[in-house]
Amino acid sequence: MNLLSKEEKMIKNSQIPSEFYKKYNVKKGLRDINGKGVLAGLTNISAIHSFDKEGNQIPGILEYRAYNIKDIINDLRKENRFGFEEMTYLLLFGELPTANELQEFQNLLASRRTLPEFFIRETILTNPSSDVMNSMSRCILALASYDEKVSDISIENVLEQSFGLIADFPLLAIYSYQSYVHYFKKESLYIHYPDPKMTTAENILRMLRPDCHYTEVEAKVLDIALILHMEHGGGNNSTFTTHVVTSSGTDTYATIAAALSSLKGPKHGGANIKAAKMLENIKENISNYEDDAEIEKYLHKILNKEVFDKQGLIYGIGHAIYSLSDPRFEVFKSYVETLVKEKGLEEEFKLYEKVARLAPKVISENRKIYKTICPNVDFYSGFVYRILEIPQELFTPLFAIARIVGWLAHRIEELINMNKIIRPAYESVLESKNYIKLGER
């Protein structure tokens, strides 16, 4: 008699020897040894560069519709204006808006920041969830039932649906969180409606905080965080999910629910939570923030699975694509410095800077690596959200509020160019067997 448990049977019969991936020339994770993804499609929406044409490592470059993200952010900072709505226009339409076009688009999004009558009460508050992302997924599919043209995948209709979803995502996230806090943490319930005169970043802080108060620096830093997270090439897990699901011909709500489910994973959108928790753990266990040797020693312990979550990972360091530098990290750092000064957290920030500098060295000493590693945008984003008094339950939903713009731009691009359903191949590594009758097993 086979005494293996059901779980043991599943594991035994599902394992694939690691050497088979080399034998069949399959790139695990659809990436080569340097982290470069297998080419699966073409896009006009964004580009990521970390190697030159000769294959040499270069400082990371991120472009939105061929515009360097650093140039975009520098212009916003110089003119001291918010930019999320402007970048949303750029990613959707492929062109920078004129002043009049931007104002019209901002007014359009403001007019769409509303949910169906009784939706907050009947869909969000009546069915609270301990997971904000799951609540948002349910809300997206519920919104589909209010759309008489839900299955219309014409570009005109999908664009209309896109405006509504981009405008509504902050509401779904904040109200789902408020519902969670009220029912699961037994705290007071605050429901603030968005102000049509305010930007997306301002409204997020306004709706989240009981007194609706925030500073201009806080809102500007959050605005930059949203811009840096809104798009990152067609190959990231949730955006690729968007392309795959869109290619089947399904509706916009189902597509975005699928993308949101992908983003929810700790290896994707949840990475900044891990980075924030790790850095809090480091802070608690380092007695002298000025002592590089003590910090290095603790980082070695993290890699050796002795402390923190004992997974052997330094979160926020390294990236599948970038090598010498992540441009999002570099851009964000200057804004973090401004926020840190306003909040009086310079000493803590120095520790973060030291970890960012020392961690790549420690990893290279402990691991066999094939390219230079650098801090990524997740290293600072969790820290910034904590300073902004944003709870960890909203870290990944904030990512979604930004990234839905990229998802929808890619969905429209896929619809415009779609002629085949995306269907890659998987090779079976089992040899054929002769069937065994029930009585002979």
Catalytic residues: 319, 378
Q: What are phi and psi of 309, to 5 degrees?
A: -90, 0
HSE-CB at 278 with a 13 A cutoff on CA atoms is: 30
Give 439's contacts (C-beta < 8 A, 6+ positions apart). Answer: none
Q: Which residues of 346-379 are buried (b: 16+ CB within 10 A; e: fewer)?
A: eebbebbebbbebbbebbeeeeeeebebbbbbbb
- Which residue, among 174, 152, 202, 161, has the nearest Cα to 407 in the 3D structure? 161
Alpha carbon distance 1, 441 (integer Å): 10
Q: Which residues of 167-193 are buried (b: 16+ CB within 10 A; e: fewer)?
A: bbbbbbbbbbbbbbbbeeeeeeebebe
Alpha carbon distance 191, 124 (integer Å): 12
The secondary structure of 225-237, three-state, reads: HHHHHCCCCCCCH
Task: Using DSSP bridges, classify how beta strands 57-64 and 67-68 pair: parallel, antiparallel or unpaired.
Answer: antiparallel
Calculate the CA 394 to chain-centre distance. 12
What is the DSSP track for 122-176? IIIISS--S-HHHHHHHHHHHHHTT-TTTT---HHHHHHHHHHHHHHHHHHHHHH
CB of 36 closer than 8 Å to CB of 321: yes
CB of 260 closer than 8 Å to CB of 58: no
Q: What are phi and psi of 264, to 5 degrees?
A: -60, -25
CB of 401 closer than 8 Å to CB of 228: no
